[in-house]
């Protein structure tokens, strides 16, 4: 019996995910372009996937657990358990408008067009604030939308803020704070749960050692 973990194939969370496993004393054969590998000293099978697909794989039980941004878990609305925050991949999902725009409160978004790759989270935020606005879902280069007349505001991930700055935008609302999390399938078999507990114990020890 092996525990199957999904991690990002390439991108911002890939290196830190591998590093975390290493720090937990888990060695994996990480061949270039490999989509699947195994740990040599822990009953762990590793799948390399696009981050957007990870919640679905976990819900379906194709993977037992996975490392993915909390932002992706919330957006995809899949039935998974967030079992541990991992302390890397920190960012926020924020509303931004052009620098020249007078912005005083969330009410200023009323009846505006908002471009985002996170329509579900944005819709929830607007509802919570009693705002009705038009959401334009786009899959990338969201920051360009106001400049080309596609939207009045955007909602995108921000870490340093330099991308917003370089595109003449300013951050006006934090919609969500996010970081990488360990997510798990709702119906793990007892043996898999034991392996997850073992892994979690090591992750918590690694986190404690860093504090
Ligand atoms: O290929 P795949 O689909 O797997 O990857 P991806 O391109 O969809 O995701 P990727 O690798 O960009 O991000 C993976 C996860 O990293 C995200 O889901 C977040 O949880 C987390 N993360 C942390 C970030 C950022 N920081 C971040 N800054 N994801 C994206 N960004 C982008 C943001 O979209 C914007 O374009 O970086 C730009 C802003 O950065 P700053 O530093 O200029 O503010
Ligand atoms: Zn993605």
Phi-psi region of 33 (alpha: psi -120 to 50; beta: other; left: phi over 0): left
pLDDT of residue 210: 85
Q: Which atom of ligand 1 approaches the CA of 11 most closely?
A: 11
pLDDT digits (tens, 9 = 90+) for 162-206: 999 999 999 999 999 999 999 999 999 999 999 999 999 999 999
What pTM, to 2 d.p., does this model score?
0.96
Q: How far, in whole angstroms, is CA 124 from its chain's centroid?
A: 17
C-alpha pair distances (Å), 205 with each of 43, 120, 158 = 19, 35, 29
Question: What pLDDT shows up at residue 33?
Answer: 72
Distance CA 184, CA 5 (A): 9
CA distance to 63, 71, 84, 181, 195, per residue, from 92 (Å): 27, 9, 18, 14, 31
The ipTM assigned to this model is: 0.98
Mean pLDDT of 141-153: 96
pLDDT above 90 for 58: yes
Q: What are phi and psi of 54, to 5 degrees?
A: -60, -45
Tokens of 98: 């052009």
- β-pairing, 80-85 vs 44-49, is unpaired
Question: What secondary structure letter does DSSP report for 153?
Answer: E
Q: Average pLDDT for residues 112-132, to the nearest whole number?
A: 98
CA of 157 to the centre of ligand 1 (A): 6
Across 44-116, where does the E strand assignment appear? Answer: 44-49, 65-69, 80-85, 91-98, 113-116
Which pLDDT tens digit goes with each residue over 80-105? 999 999 999 999 999 999 999 999 99
- Taking the chain, what is the end-to-end CA distance rounded to the nearest angstrom? 33
Please state the atom number of ligand 1 nearest to the C-alpha of residue 165: 43
Best of 157, 161, 170, 174 to mutate for ligand 1, by most ligand atoms within 8 A of CB? 157
Q: Name the band, by pLDDT with cuts 50, 70 and 90, for residue 34.
A: confident
CA of 102 to the centre of ligand 1 (A): 28
**Average pLDDT over the chain, rounded to an integer:** 96
H helix intervals, 70-175: 70-76, 119-128, 162-166
User: What average pLDDT does this structure show over 153-164?
Assistant: 98
Spacing, Cα 53 to ligand 2 middle (Å):
8
pLDDT at 32 over 90: no
Percent of the residues in the chain that have a pLDDT greater than 90, as a whole number? 95
Output phi, psi for 166, to 5 deg.
Answer: -65, -20
Domains of the chain: 3-89+179-210 (3.40.190.10), 91-178 (3.40.190.10)
């Amino acid at each position: 019996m092996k525990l199957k973990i999904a991690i990002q194939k390439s991108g911002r969370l890939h290196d830190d995910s591998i590093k975390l496993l290493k720090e937990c004393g888990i060695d994996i054969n990480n061949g270039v372009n490999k989509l699947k590998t195994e740990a040599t000293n822990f009953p762990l099978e590793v799948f390399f996937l696009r981050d957007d697909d990870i919640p679905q794989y976990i819900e379906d039980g194709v993977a037992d657990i996975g490392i993915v941004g909390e932002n992706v878990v919330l957006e995809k609305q899949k039935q998974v358990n967030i079992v541990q925050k991992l302390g890397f991949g920190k960012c926020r999902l924020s509303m931004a408008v052009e620098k020249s725009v007078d912005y005083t409160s969330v009410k200023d978004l009323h009846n505006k067009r908002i471009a985002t790759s996170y329509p579900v989270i944005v819709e929830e935020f607007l509802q919570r604030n009693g705002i009705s606005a038009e959401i334009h879902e786009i899959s990338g280069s969201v920051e360009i939308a106001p400049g080309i007349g596609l939207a009045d505001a955007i909602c995108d991930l921000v870490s340093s803020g330099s991308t917003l700055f370089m595109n003449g935008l300013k951050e006006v609302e934090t919609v969500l704070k996010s970081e990488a999390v360990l997510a798990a399938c709702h119906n793990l078999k007892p043996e898999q749960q034991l392996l997850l507990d073992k892994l979690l114990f090591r992750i918590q020890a690694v986190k404690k050692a860093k504090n």
